[in-house]
Amino acid sequence: MNKAITRIKVRYAETDKMGIVYHANYYVYFEAAREDLIEGAGIKYSDMEDIGIMMPLVETKCKYHEGAKYGDYILVETTLGKLSPIKVEINYRVLRESDGKLLAEGQTTQVFVDAQNFKIIKLMKSYPEVWEKLQKIK
């Protein structure tokens, strides 16, 4: 699996006074899509946390092309950018389902850390079974 597609209905509470999705809510959509991508590889965030792995965000970006509106169905296409033993880069494209219009593009970078001390770990060495599952995304 090299891509996940997450379908989301824009709720009224996610929009601003201009009637479009408030910019920070795209990061909520990215998180839902990121979970779907990782689950497609056969592992959940909760599984990773249970064995002592956390994945804090260290960098995010989003380019907005056009605002989604209340009631729109959007599709978040999520792909793996780069995977290294210490971090993962994930790419996002947000499309309006009705016309395929590109609404936003984004990227997040997360590092793998030990849940106890928040020190960066080398996933391939510390948790080879998780590393193998994430490799399936490519």
pLDDT in tens, 22-59: 999 999 999 999 999 999 999 999 999 999 999 999 99
Active-site residue, from 16, 36, 47, 72 = 16
What mean pLDDT, rounded, does the chain reach? 96
* Burial class of residue 21, CB neighbours in 10 A (0-12, 13-18, 19+): buried
pLDDT of residue 138: 72
Whole-angstrom distance, CA of residue 38 vs CA of residue 131: 11
Coil/strand/helix, residue 2? coil
Which amino acid would we find at residue 88? V
Is-catalytic flag, 72?
no
Cα distances (angstroms) measured from residue 131 to each of 26, 42, 90, 104, 125 = 27, 11, 15, 29, 8
Q: What is the per-residue pLDDT across 95-136, written as a single tens digit (0 to 9) for each?
A: 999 999 999 999 999 999 999 999 999 999 999 999 999 998
Is the pLDDT at 81 greater than 90? The verdict is yes
The pLDDT of residue 1: 61
Domain 3-135 indexed as CATH 3.90.660.10: no
